Chains A and B, each alone.
Chain A
Amino acid sequence: MTTPIVQLDDVCLSIRGQSLLNHINMALNPGEIMTVIGPNGAGKSSLLKIVLGLYKPSSGKRRIHKRLRIGYMPQQLQIDPSLPLTVQRFLALAGNSNHQDIETALKDVNALQTMTRPIQSISGGEFQRVLLARALLRNPTLLVLDEPAQGVDLHGQQELYQLLASIRDKRQCAILMVSHDLHFVMARTDQVICLNQHVCCSGTADAVANHPEYLALFDQGIEKDFAVYTHHHDHHHNIHGDVVKDNLPAFESNTNKGCSEHHHD
């Protein structure tokens, strides 16, 4: 049996008395792709920060494989125009990489043309790929991506997903990514976790090909890169964000605010 590259055991997180994550269990195996989806404020970024080791769980445990090496691609990044910095230098700052490594990483993400340009002058899509190149330069066993598809059009997303799939196949690294899109995920995703402070549901995604009504919306060729995730919740959230067990009147399950007394499904 393989040991997960990273595993969360019953992790809760609260910051300044506010509960952000409740009893999260997840395990990501080497080479696996996991997508975390959920609405705004669901705690997706907090979950990433726990996995990255930036936040310590309030309770529960983060277990890591001894060969865990993280490449992190943040959501967005503002670099002050007063800092003269070329893409090449930005990548060199990731540490112990020579010119050849940098060139290869940029080639891998199709952004070689940006190498000598000031980093503030490249486009959003290019910047994203440069960030990905930086994450790759660390030779990661786990690639963590915070909303890589945000602000990228469908065609750009398709390219990104193809790129990620080829990176996984080539380097055998696990990929954990967050997406704010509740229905479209990368087709090659092995696991989908739907998060709303707790794990609402998890499972695999169905290929878009199985959903002709979605297929009809797009040009040909898209079905192999996108998939539809079908939620199968056994509860919903009322207007206060509290968990309401389906088929039960709302007032009967209104006692689940605390991390410790959160029991449903």
Chain B
Amino acid sequence: MIEIIAPALIIGLILTAIAGPLGSFIVWGRMSYFGDTLAHSALLGVALGLFLSLDPIAGVVIVTVSVAILLSTLQKQRNISSDALLGIVAHGTLALGLVLVSLKEGVRVDLLGLLFGDLLAVTFSDALWVGGCALLLAIVTKLIWNPLLNILINSDLARAEGLAVDKIRMVYMICLALLVAIGMKVVGALLITALLIIPPAGARRLASTPEQMALLASLIGMTSIILGMLASLQWDTPAGPSIVLSACLLFSLTLTRGNQS
């Protein structure tokens, strides 16, 4: 029993710990649709992995990082709103992924697992590379934290003050892409954005500095992992959705608290 639960728990806790700070920027910058787009494109990554006989996760990392780079380049042109652009890329990559998977004969893909995650199928070796990735993400996030806050506040001001705005933005987007790749394992492509957004949203009312909000978001996310997995074991519900529901529950609990602006 414990050897099934332990790796899942470890991966879930690592994922939500790092999703706290990275997800806070999604909430502050109103880019939840950007997270969704990365998640949708992750399915194309799985298909690519199958086609090239790579590890699916390698395919996911390649595709999400490329999409992140593509989007930050495309968003500079202004004929199409970035909202519409995200929709095109999100659904274009999703559709391409589904078509590619159907073309590959003799392969049965666990589509449900991809969409909603298959947390209990992870192993200790998964936990190892997820841990390594997360450590890297944590270091990079720490390095770009203050510059990223400055860019969020006003990119012209940040640029005038000498920051390499485009580069730092790009680094952040690549971090998000990596996080989405990890999150695929845990809650699946459809629900990963939930773990990026709900915990910071819940942390907002309790925090008075950006760092407090990021830290509280991590704690809320980690609590959701534990609650969700307990619920999943207790009532035999799917782990990913149970985790997201727990996060929603914690979020609604914070709503009862008075507003601290």
Contacts and interface: CB of A to CB of B under 8 A. Distances in A.
A77 B210 contact: no
Nearest to B201: A82
Given A84-B207, A93-B149, A74 B261 contact: no
Nearest to B160: A72
Chain B interface, DSSP helix/strand/loop, else mixed? helix
Contacts of A74: 154, 156-157
A249 B226 CA distance: 81
Given A74-B156, A79-B153, A84 B209 contact: yes
Contact of B210 (A49, A54, A72, A89): A89
Interface in B208-227: 208-210, 212-213
A53 to B, nearest CB: 7
Contact of B208 (A70, A86, A95, A121): A86
Interface residues of B, number: 25
Contact of A84 (B156, B157, B208): B208
A60 interface: no
Interface in B164-205: 200-201, 204
A120 B28 CA distance: 13
Interface in A52-66: 52-54
Nearest to B208: A84
A118 B261 contact: yes
B5 interface: no
A151 interface: no
B3 interface: no
Contacts of A95: 146, 161
B161 A94 contact: yes
Contact of A90 (B28, B153, B160): B153
Given A93-B150, A94-B161, A120-B261, A80 B29 contact: yes
A81 B210 contact: no
Contacts of B210: 83-85, 89
Contacts of A144: 160
Contacts of B213: 84
Interface string A82-106: 1111100110011100000000000
A84 B212 contact: yes
A82 B212 CA distance: 13
B152 A83 contact: yes
B142 interface: no
A138 interface: yes
Greatest chain A CB density within 10 A among B154, B156, B209, B261 is at B156
B133 interface: no
A85 to B, nearest CB: 6
A252 to B, nearest CB: 37
A85 B150 CA distance: 12
Contact of B209 (A49, A77, A79, A89): A89
Contact of A86 (B28, B160, B209): B209
Contacts of A90: 153
Contacts of B30: 80
Nearest to B146: A93
A84 B29 CA distance: 13
B120 interface: no
Interface string A36-79: 00000000000001001110000000000000001010100101
B204 to A, nearest CB: 6
A127 to B, nearest CB: 12
A138 B212 contact: no
Interface in B6-56: 27-30
A150 B167 CA distance: 33
A39 B101 CA distance: 58
Contacts of B29: 80
Contacts of B208: 84, 86, 118
B33 to A, nearest CB: 15
A231 to B, nearest CB: 30
Interface of B: 27-30, 146, 149-150, 152-154, 156-157, 159-161, 200-201, 204, 207-210, 212-213, 261
Given A53-B160, A70-B161, 11 more contacts: A52-B156, A52-B159, A70-B160, A72-B161, A79-B153, A82-B28, A83-B210, A95-B161, A120-B261, A138-B161, A144-B160
16 contacts: A52-B156, A54-B156, A54-B159, A70-B161, A77-B154, A77-B157, A80-B29, A82-B27, A82-B28, A82-B204, A83-B28, A83-B153, A84-B210, A85-B210, A86-B209, A89-B210
Q: Which 4 A-B pairs have the closest CB atoms?
A: A72-B160, A83-B28, A52-B160, A84-B207
